[in-house]
Amino acid sequence: MWVFKMRTLHTYRFKKEKLLLIIVVLLLVSFVASQSLSCSDKKQQSQKSQAKNVEEKGPVIRLGVVPAIGTIETVEIFQPLMNYLSEKLQARVKLVLLEDYDSIIEKMEAKELEGGIHGSFSAYIVQKKQGAIPIARPEKNGVSIYKGLIFTRKDSGIATIADLQGKSFVYTDRTTSAGGLYPLYVLSKEGYDPATVFSRVTYAGRHDLAVLAVLNGDADAGAAKDTTYFDLAKKNPRVDTEMIIITSSSAQFPEKSLVVRSDLDPDIISKLRQVLLDMDDSSEGQKVLEKLGADRYIASPSSDWADVEEMVQFTGVSLD
């Protein structure tokens, strides 16, 4: 009797525990399902919210920049500008780092960029080939232009353009005015064929690297922009003590200008220009300008490329 009662009690408890287990499992399933639906709803709400934010922030404006120094330093310099423009234009202005000006030219033509910060020669090229529109350029201490230099080491035995015959030469880049177009112009005016006058030609890719190539004996002579040469001389005394300038251009080239595609919304173009020109009026804008090493932005009309135009016409250099 006792055994029977124990078994009955055990069976009862077992059934009760089984029932509780089933209830718990059902509750868990119900909870998981509700959480899943809740997460799905939240995800949909998040996606809708993000889409709304994207719509509110306005169009994407991709601007190409070629690093003149390291990649990290370039981002630190230009990202504040992108953030500032995004806020003022109610748009998503994105910084796109590219290897060279040719890449900016190509991507603007392919409509993979809305614009770019160009050197004077590449800015001229996109204006002539694509009808691109120059917006503005930075000014520092009242200066927004630069000149080209041709230089060598003091111990090279080179003193004139004629002495460059048979020597090695380092250009900065094909699409730069001071470090590419200018030396072609000088050589052509002196009656020399740039294609045959040198024993060896290299391209440094950056103005400072062209100066250093000559300083360190990797080339007999070279060309670069004067502002970079003199800035480097302040940091490296060897530039002054070991190098000399053979010739300096009388031509003046516009500093790096922001140039955009001609099919960009005219309203955006107008606002972009005004935002840049007004930057120095606010403390927020002044902080961005300080990062850029500038005091303000000034207008950059197509007429500022007159000297570049003259050199292109004289040398017959191809824009392709």
State the total domains in the chain.
Answer: 2
- Would 7 be classed as within a structural domain? no
Identify the DSSP state of 190: T
- Would 208 be classed as within a structural domain? yes
Domain of 135, CATH number, reads: 3.40.190.10
- Would 27 be classed as within a structural domain? no
On whether both 232 and 281 belong to a single domain, the answer is: no
Whole-model pTM: value is: 0.78
- Would 47 be classed as within a structural domain? no
On whether both 221 and 282 belong to a single domain, the answer is: no
On whether both 126 and 260 belong to a single domain, the answer is: yes
d(CA 32, CA 156): 81
- Would 222 be classed as within a structural domain? yes
On whether both 132 and 268 belong to a single domain, the answer is: yes
Q: What residue numbers bound the domain in which 267 lies?
A: 58-141+255-304
- Would 179 be classed as within a structural domain? yes
On whether both 130 and 151 belong to a single domain, the answer is: no
On whether both 158 and 237 belong to a single domain, the answer is: yes
The CB-side HSE value for 141 (13 A sphere, CA atoms) comes to: 3
On whether both 228 and 270 belong to a single domain, the answer is: no
Over residues 45-70, the pLDDT tens digits come to 544 444 344 445 689 999 999 987 77
Over residues 100-126, the pLDDT tens digits come to 999 999 999 999 999 999 999 999 999
Residue length of the chain: 320
- Would 186 be classed as within a structural domain? yes
Look at residue 320 in the predicted model and tell me its pLDDT: 85
Cα 286 from chain centroid?
20
CA separation, residue 198 to residues 169, 204, 233 (Å) = 7, 16, 26
On whether both 168 and 237 belong to a single domain, the answer is: yes
Over residues 168-204, the pLDDT tens digits come to 999 999 989 999 999 999 999 999 999 999 999 999 9
- Would 117 be classed as within a structural domain? yes
Look at residue 113 in the predicted model and tell me its pLDDT: 98
On whether both 137 and 262 belong to a single domain, the answer is: yes
On whether both 121 and 163 belong to a single domain, the answer is: no
Stretches in the chain below the pLDDT threshold 50: 1-16, 24-25, 29, 32-33, 36-44, 46-55
On whether both 156 and 210 belong to a single domain, the answer is: yes
d(CA 232, CA 101): 22
On whether both 263 and 125 belong to a single domain, the answer is: yes
